[in-house]
A and B are shown apart, each in its own frame.
Chain A
Amino acid sequence: QVHLVESGGGVVQPGRSLRLSCAASGFTFSRSAMHWIRQAPGKGLEWVAVISYDGSNKYYADSVKDRLTISRDNSKNTLYLQMNSLRTEDTAVYYCVRVPNEAAGLNWLDPWGQGTLVTVSS
């Protein structure tokens, strides 16, 4: 059974950094593209970033480019999101999401992790 567990969320001051992790199990992580999707409190879904199965290709939403960095360690079955220069508008639940069937990143998304809440506040 595919399982994605995010961690690393918390309360952080504006301008500070945070690193999220997503531990994957139940599938061949090294063959799967992965995404981060976020959801601000009471709001809709916003795509953040994607990374190819081998980490060679990455794409970002304009709103996070140059501040958030997606990466992966296939030896540890773990996805990361390094978040720098955080802003109040980055406050959201961050979901780690798999691209199924070893497809390319531009695809439907399944499954989603349970999410981790990041609160940026002074």
Chain B
Amino acid sequence: AIQLTQSPSSLSASVGDRVTITCRASQGISKFLAWYQQKPGKAPELLIYDISSLKSGVPSRFSGSGSGTDFTLSISSLQPEDFATYYCQQFKNYPITFGQGTRLEIK
């Protein structure tokens, strides 16, 4: 199975900060990477697919990049509603796998 390792596991930041979350795959996954946001007690929601394509309606402060095995999710100017847990997901092969999550907290 393809393993995804996110870093950091947790992150404290302030409103207005720019933050970056990294997702590293154990083997190349081409463009088959997505990012999700999950708020406490809620289901995950898709933010980005195919590395860098923003889902319709997602604010443009979210962006994704990367290639091969290394990928990043960036938030350009944190808003209060962005404090949540973020997961990457690969869909290159079965089993579909997720990173362990990055918890973004208010400093």
Contacts and interface: CB of A to CB of B under 8 A. Distances in A.
Nearest to B49: A108
Interface in A33-89: 35, 44-47, 50, 59, 61-62
Contacts of A59: 94-95
Interface in A82-117: 95, 106-115
Contacts of A109: 34, 36, 46, 89
A47 B45 CA distance: 15
A59 B45 CA distance: 23
Nearest to B87: A45
Kindly state the interface size class of chain A when it binds its partner: 20 to 34
Given A106-B91, A108-B34, A47 B98 contact: yes
Nearest to A47: B96
10 contacts: A35-B96, A45-B36, A46-B98, A47-B98, A50-B96, A108-B46, A109-B46, A110-B46, A110-B49, A112-B43
Interface in B12-51: 32, 34, 36, 42-46, 49-50
Kindly state the interface size class of chain B when it binds its partner: 20 to 34
Interface string B74-107: 0000000000000101011111111111000000
Given A45-B87, A106-B93, A110-B55, A115 B98 contact: no
Contact of B97 (A35, A47, A107): A47
Contacts of B97: 47
A114 B92 CA distance: 26
Contact of B44 (A45, A61, A62): A45
Contacts of B93: 106
Given A108-B49, A112-B43, 16 more contacts: A44-B98, A44-B99, A44-B100, A45-B98, A46-B98, A47-B96, A47-B97, A106-B32, A106-B93, A106-B96, A110-B46, A110-B55, A111-B43, A112-B44, A114-B43, A115-B43
Contact of B95 (A47, A95, A111): A47
Given A113-B43, A115-B43, A108 B98 contact: no
B5 to A, nearest CB: 12
